[in-house]
Each structure stands twice: as C-alpha cells, then as structure tokens.
C-alpha cells in the first residue's frame, strides 16, 4: 500500500506476507542505467533483501522481485525511453510516473540504428538475468518476454488499442528474447541455490568450508570495504557456494553440491574479470552470457570451460553466469588380488 503519507511500507508487513519489493526494482534500474554508488544496495537486493525481512522472521520468499509491472514502462520501453510519452491519454502527459529510472541507450524512442537496437536487447537480457539469479520470488510482467511496447506510454490503462494489446506476430529479435527468457528461467529452475528459503550468512556454514556467499572484485579477490565505498565502481562478482547449503530441498533431500558464479558489469566498456580459484582444480563452465546471445540459435557454439585464476573477457553492460566443474581425479589402478590356484581333485586331501 502507498496511499497517503507514510503509506509506503515495504518490509513492514507481518510474517506470512510476501510483498512487491519496490526497493529491488529501483536498485536494479539505477545500477543498470549507470548511477553511482550502487553496489552495496545491489548486493543487498540480489541476496534477498535481508535488511527488510529477516528481522521480522521472514525469509527471501517474502520479497517479490520485479523490474516492471502493470503500472509504468514495459521492459522494452524501460530501455528505449527516458521520459514518458502519454499524449494519447488526453491529459497532456500530466498522468503517469515521471521518475522512471529508465534509459534509452542513446536515442529516445524507436530507431533503425542496429547498434542501439542491439544495446537495448542486451540491456533487456541483463534485467531478466539479474531478476532470475536474485534470491526471492521473481515476477515478470506479461509481454516483457517478447519485448512488448506501449510506445513510451507508462499509464496505458485507458488505451484499448495497439498501445495496450499484445501482438504474437514476433520478429526475429522478439523470438530471440523469448528464447533467452526461457533459458534464464530454466537456469533458475535447475539450480536450487538460486531459490533458498533462508538468507545467506556470509560465512562458512560447514566446518572448514567456504562462505555460502562471497562477493568478488575484478582481480578475483574478495571485495574489500574500500571497494564497496568506491562510488564509480559498477562491476561485481557473486559466488554462491552450494556445498555449504544448510537446508534440504522441497522434498527433504540434500541439495546437489554446486558452486555458481555470477558477474555483473554495468560499465559501458569491457572489464576483464579474474575468475576465483586457481589452476585446473577450478574450471568454470559458462552457462549464460547476455553479451553473447545470438539471434539465430543455430550459430551458437559451445565454449570450453574457463580456468580459475584467469581473466574472463566480461563485456560492457552484461551478465555472465558460470558453474564450477571440478577436474576429476585421475583413476588409480588398483592391483587385483592374485587368484589362488584351484586344487585338483587328487590334491583334495592336502591341507
């Protein structure tokens, strides 16, 4: 509820409630449009917003994470317009939210520039990707998976026409975004560590183990307090250590031991990111990179695992997700016991 003074009560509902997390929405938008000093807030929201819910005894599932909803810009329009275009509503654009925290990637509205169109498509993938790797319950507005547009209108409830309709005649670019949405939702479904029922502790939960959640800088080392306070830093790594999970899955079975790494880069320029670990023992299999998502699925080429301790070419304004692949130990030949010679019938009497 947000009616009246003091009506905005995110995080103040009682146990048993889940709520739309508007602070999550605003944090994601600010980070990806390039606002300064966003890393601490981003990390808190991606990790489930414990500052809002843990004190009341609630878990990450109390947070309904979203980038867009029925009010405001669609996902496509969020990366296409920096201001609302509500002239068709007949109120001289006085209606609708003016502070949309949106971006247009260089040109306001539709364009034929393939560079800008590509940048917008990649930014849409970034927002979908970060939504699906965040702790909490993701909420996707219908039509965002196919880049539905309201032509910059962020208050289209009164329009019963193409502005508010959903067209299923998809362009190749829309088909590509739909494939990506399926892929990133499938990734979330396949990895229970992205759907924890309890908050991370930021410390080892198994004696002698690694932290269940660790934040990394571009040098492959854990983030320091100095880096967290660096206002112009827009790149961050998040390692989820599934081997340290202290909870069963929904069927009461232990989670599969796995380690995921997610890299976020809101800088325009590529930023080499040293993958945590070192040597052949830590090999990272890339699962998704929003900067490497082809329009034509037939041209996708699987790549070899990346070695821990080496720099990954993290592209500008992108998200990359990895899963660790431990190098199997070499097989050791175990000598077979020498078979005792079989006795002949004539020797049966011998001891």
At 278 the pLDDT is 66
Residue 290, classed as helix, strand or coil, is: coil
Residue 256 lies in a domain: yes
Q: Are residues 318 and 277 both part of a single domain? A: yes
Q: What is the pLDDT of residues 86-130, one digit of tens each?
A: 999 999 999 999 999 999 999 999 999 999 999 999 999 999 999
β 271-274/259-265 pair status: unpaired
**Which pLDDT does position 35 carry in this prediction?**
97
Q: Which of 66, 85, 83 minimizes the C-alpha distance to 75?
A: 66
Q: 3-state class of 192 per DSSP?
A: helix
Residues 223, 180 within the same domain? no
Report the side by side order of strands in the sheet with 279-289.
Answer: 213-216, 235-241, 259-265, 318-326, 279-289, 306-308
pLDDT band with cut points at 50, 70 and 90 for residue 206: low
Same domain, 144 and 279: no
CB 116 within 8 A of CB 123: no
Q: What is the CA radius of gyration of the chain?
A: 25
Judge whether 344 lies within some domain. no
Same domain, 225 and 186: no
Domain check: are 152 and 212 in the same one?
Answer: no
184, 132 Cβ separation under 8 angstroms: yes
Number of domains in the chain: 2
Per-residue pLDDT at 254 = 58
> What CATH number is attached to the domain comprising 129?
3.20.20.80
Enumerate the H helices of the chain as residue ranges.
22-33, 39-46, 50-53, 75-78, 114-132, 172-190, 225-228
Q: What is the pLDDT of residue 283?
A: 92
Supply the pLDDT for residue 177. Answer: 97
Helix (H) or strand (E) holding 65: strand 63-66
* Residue 4 within a domain: no
Rounded Cα distance, 101 and 81, in Å: 10
CATH number at residue 206: 2.60.40.1180
Give me the pLDDT at residue 17, please. 82
Residues 164 and 305 in one domain: no
* Interatomic CA distance for residues 229 and 328, integer angstroms: 40
Check whether residue 45 and residue 153 sit in a common domain. Answer: yes
210 with 306, same domain? yes
DSSP helix/strand/coil, 48:
coil
Q: Is 271 a member of any domain?
A: yes
Establish if 248 belongs to a structural domain: yes
User: Quick one: which of 90, 82, 128 has its CA closest to 107?
Assistant: 82
Residue 153 belongs to some domain of the structure: yes
What is the arithmetic mean of pLDDT over 72-82? 98
Buried b (16+ CB within 10 A) or exposed e, 61-78: bbbbbbbbbeebbbbbbb
Q: Is residue 177 part of a domain?
A: yes
Domain that holds residue 31: 19-192
Q: Angle CA(229)–CA(233)–CA(237) in degrees, nearest 5?
A: 95
Contact status, residue 219 vs residue 275, Cβ threshold 8 Å: no
8 A C-beta contact, residue 46 and residue 130: yes
Q: pLDDT tens for residues 151-171?
A: 999 999 999 999 999 999 999
% of the chain residues with pLDDT over 70? 80
Task: Give the model confidence (pLDDT) of 228-279 as tens digits.
Answer: 999 999 999 999 988 655 566 556 665 566 899 999 999 999 999 999 986 6
User: Is 1 inside any structural domain?
Assistant: no
Reported as a pLDDT band with limits 50, 70 and 90, residue 16 is: confident
- The verdict on 187 and 299 lying in the same domain is no
- Residue 210 is predicted with a pLDDT of 81
* pLDDT value for 282: 79
User: Is 183 in the same domain as 204?
Assistant: no
List the strands of the sheet with 19-20, edge to edge: 19-20, 63-66, 137-139
Task: Tell whether the model's pLDDT for residue 181 goes beyond 50.
Answer: yes
């Amino acid at each position: 509820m947000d009616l009246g003074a003091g009506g905005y009560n995110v995080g103040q509902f009682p146990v048993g409630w889940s709520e739309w997390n508007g602070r999550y929405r605003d944090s994601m938008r600010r980070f990806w449009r390039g606002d300064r000093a966003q890393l601490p807030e981003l990390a808190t929201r991606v990790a489930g917003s414990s500052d809002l819910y843990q004190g009341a005894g609630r878990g990450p599932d109390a947070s309904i994470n979203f980038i867009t909803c029925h009010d405001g810009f669609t996902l496509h329009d969020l990366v296409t317009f920096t201001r609302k275009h509500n002239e068709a509503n007949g109120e001289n654009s006085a209606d609708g939210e003016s502070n949309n925290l949106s971006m247009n990637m260089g040109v306001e509205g539709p364009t034929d520039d393939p560079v800008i169109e590509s940048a917008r498509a990649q930014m849409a993938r970034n927002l979908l990707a970060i939504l699906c790797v965040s702790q909490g319950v993701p909420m996707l507005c219908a039509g965002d998976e196919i880049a539905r547009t309201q032509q910059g209108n962020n208050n289209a409830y009164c329009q019963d026409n193409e502005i508010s309709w959903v067209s299923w005649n998809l362009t190749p670019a829309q088909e590509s975004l739909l494939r990506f949405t399926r892929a990133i939702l499938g990734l979330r479904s396949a990895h229970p560590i992205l759907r924890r029922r309890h908050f991370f502790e930021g410390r080892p939960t198994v004696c002698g183990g690694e932290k269940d959640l660790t934040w990394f800088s571009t040098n492959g080392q854990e983030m320091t307090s100095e880096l967290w306070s660096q206002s112009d830093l827009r790149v961050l790594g998040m390692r989820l250590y599934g081997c340290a999970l202290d909870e069963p899955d929904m069927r009461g079975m232990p989670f599969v031991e796995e380690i995921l790494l997610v890299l976020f880069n809101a800088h325009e320029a590529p930023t080499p990111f040293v993958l945590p670990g070192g040597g052949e023992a830590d090999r990272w299999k890339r699962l998704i990179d929003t900067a490497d998502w082809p329009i034509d699925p037939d041209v996708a080429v699987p790549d070899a695992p990346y070695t821990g301790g080496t720099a990954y070419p993290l592209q500008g304004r992108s998200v990359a997700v990895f899963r660790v692949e431990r190098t199997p130990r070499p097989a050791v030949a175990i000598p077979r016991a020498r078979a005792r010679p079989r006795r002949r019938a004539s020797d049966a009497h011998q001891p």
